[in-house]
Amino acid sequence: MNIKFSVLALLLTLSLASADPIEDVKNAARKLADKGNYSWRTTTDLGTSSGNFQPGPVEGKTEKDVGTYLSPTRGDSTMEAVLKDNKAAVRTEEGWKSLSELTSDTGGARPNRGRFIARMLQNFKTPAVEAEDLASNAKHLKKAADGYAGELTEEGAKRFITRFRPPGVNPSDASSNAKGSVKFWMKDGVLSKYEYNVRGTVNFNGQERDVNRTTTVEIKDVGTTKVNIPEEASKKLS
């Protein structure tokens, strides 16, 4: 009996030792998605490269088969947006608008700002999806005190540093000297938090800008989150 126990313990130890940290993180992200619903808070630090501007936090929540709700804060104003089945709608002073209405001259918002918001929503990924994508773009991950940490590949760093790029723009053409790092936290095998930093030079409208951006996503209310999409917004998603 002791011999059998020792053999099982050895096999378990070898299995844990040979486990792929990247796959562990992907599995933790998939387990989060399998919960069906959760909320999160995203904060972004642009460092000294931002001048006096720092974006506010983004509150989000998602529920399977219902949709995703986002509430980004910018200065003293808070925006509302809903997404479902690759479609999105934004609440404006004139009411809820589809992305096509938002980017038009009569969409109730400045066209340039409307286009930026549209790109942000078109490129948006829920935390479970984004975390798995980050893990796929890691060179390697090592066990940390309460999770995993590592460096992003150059191509991965370029992708995330230009995540709001216009459609058709290659990340390699829009950025240079890109580097990045990432860290994941888990609780009971489920993704609970992640943070990534990307830095380099980005070509923005013909001008080069140095970027050093740290994004932190903290996940909460797993399994108890409810998303209610207003009827007016639902019509814009049809």
pLDDT of residue 219: 98
pLDDT of residue 92: 87
pLDDT of residue 109: 47
Q: Decide if 62 contacts 68 (C-beta within 8 A).
A: yes
Q: Is the four-CA dihedral 189, 214, 60, 68 of positive or negative sign?
A: negative
What is the Cα–Cα distance from 138 to 154, expressed in whole angstroms? 9
Q: DSSP string of 131-178?
A: HHHHHHTBS--EE-SSEEEEEBPHHHHHHHHTTTPPTT--HHHHEEEE
Output Rg (C-alpha) for the chain, integer angstroms: 20
pLDDT of residue 17: 44
In this predicted model, what pLDDT tens digit does every residue of 80-112 receive, in sequence order?
999 999 899 999 888 999 988 888 754 444 555
pLDDT of residue 15: 46
pLDDT of residue 78: 82
End-to-end CA distance of the chain: 63
Pick the CATH number of 20-236 from 2.30.30, 2.60.40, 2.50.20, 1.10.3470: 2.50.20
pLDDT of residue 14: 44
Instruction: State how far the alpha carbon of 78 is from the alpha carbons of 27, 55, 90, in Å.
Output: 34, 11, 11
Q: Which residues is 81 bridged to in the sheet? A: 70, 90
In this predicted model, what pLDDT tens digit does every residue of 107-126 receive, in sequence order?
444 555 777 788 888 889 99
pLDDT of residue 4: 56
pLDDT of residue 114: 72
Instruction: State how far the alpha carbon of 121 is from the alpha carbons of 86, 91, 114, in Å.
Output: 9, 13, 11
Domain ranges of the chain: 20-236
Half-sphere exposure of 68 (CA within 13 A, CB side): 22
Which secondary structure element, helix H or strand E, spans residue 15, and what is its range? helix 2-18
SS3 of the chain: helix, strand, coil, percent, to 5: 35, 40, 30
Residues of the chain under the 50 pLDDT cut: 1, 14-18, 106-109
Instruction: State how far the alpha carbon of 94 is from the alpha carbons of 102, 103, 198, 220, in Å.
Output: 11, 14, 36, 32
Which residue, chain included where needed, has tokens 């399998």? 34
What is the Cα–Cα distance from 123 to 120, expressed in whole angstroms? 5
